[in-house]
Structure 1
């Protein structure tokens, strides 16, 4: 591949990428054979404001590149333009006997940053709806617990495992575990760990899913 063929390939690739990813994606071909790395072709140049022949980089500087930067690929790096645009930048080199060319890709994702902030605002909420509907807090949960405990006819400290399972099943049926911090509350009243309450809930769920005999 001679220099003209290499340039034609990179230029065609740059044009295709710019068309595929739209007006926010600037693509260009650099001549890396010289330290000033002038632009040989460019598409969507409005992203950086550059044109063919420019030796200014995406950072807005006119510095000559070091030898390593003129030969090694740079992939998916962050850059900010002088006007404040946020850019993802990559450079891919194609080096032959008498040429050193590079394909540059600069994607301006500034608008996506703003869009993400809007999405975060839209998805944010002060609290969950269930807690807002039942604002009794611990007192409402305590009333449910006491009613279920009364149905068993035993004090909490006299409950065996089977009784505790029945109590948890009753609480689950009454949506007691939709309250905030319900598991710690039930664990404290039963004198067991939170892990134990979660195990009881799992067992209640499994039992509910088992087919009845007959």
Structure 2
């Protein structure tokens, strides 16, 4: 492959990549045989504002490259243009006996950064809904329980089964058991097991269908 063939191959590749990835992807072919690395061809040059013949790099400088940089591939590196665009940059060399050319790819992802910020804002929330509902529900449940306990007129530690059944019945009338985790809450406040609360509810349901009355305990 001679220099002309190498340039034709890289130029065709640069054009294809630019077309494939769109207007935010700048591609170019450098003459790396010259320390000033002038641009031989460029597509979507508006990304950096450069044209054919320019010796400016993506950073906006015109520094000559050292010997290592003239033959080293650089892959997926971050750069910021003088105008503030955020770029992912790669350079691939094609070196022959009488040529040293390089394909440069500069992808401007600034718009993706802005889009990501919008997505983060859209996906952010003040708190977990379930937790918020539970905390709010617990406050209401506490108030309802205190009202039912006051209706019985006794402290929890001296309640009989009849008293507890009455409290359960009052709670049920006030739809207290529609709250999330209401049974463990009531069981804890009445100092009984969850099973006992369910048992009382079952007895109340049975009593509603007959004439049974809860026994003293």
Cα deviation per residue 1:4-42 (whole Å; 9 max; x = unaligned)? Answer: 000000000000000000000000000000100000000
1:152 and 2:152 are equivalent in the alignment = no
Cα deviation, residue 138, structure 1: 7.7
Please state whether the residue corresponding to 1:16 is helix, strand or coil: helix
5 Å-filtered alignment, 1:122-161, equals 122-134=122-134, 135-137=136-138, 140=141, 144-148=183-187, 149-153=192-196
Cα deviation per residue 1:162-208 (whole Å; 9 max; x = unaligned)? Answer: xxxx9xxxxxxxxxxxxxxxxxxxxxxxxxxxxxxxxxxxxxxxxxx
Distance across 1 between alignment mates of 2:83 and 2:59: 10
5 Å-filtered alignment, 1:30-69, equals 30-69=30-69
Structure whose CA Rg is larger: 2
Distance across 1 between alignment mates of 2:133 and 2:196: 30
Q: Which runs of 5+ in 2 are unaligned?
A: 142-179, 199-217
CA contact (8 A) 2:27 2:43 kept: yes
- How many residue pairs get aligned? The number is 155
What is the match of residue 106 of structure 2? 106
Cα deviation, residue 142, structure 1: 7.9
CA RMSD of aligned residues (A): 2.1
Cα deviation, residue 129, structure 1: 1.9
Cα deviation, residue 137, structure 1: 4.3
What is the match of residue 11 of structure 1? 11
Q: Which runs of 5+ in 1 are unaligned?
A: 155-165, 167-214
Distance across 1 between alignment mates of 2:138 and 2:115: 37
TM-score after normalising by structure 2:
0.67
What is the match of residue 96 of structure 2? 96
TM-score after normalising by structure 1:
0.67
Please state whether the residue corresponding to 1:29 is helix, strand or coil: strand
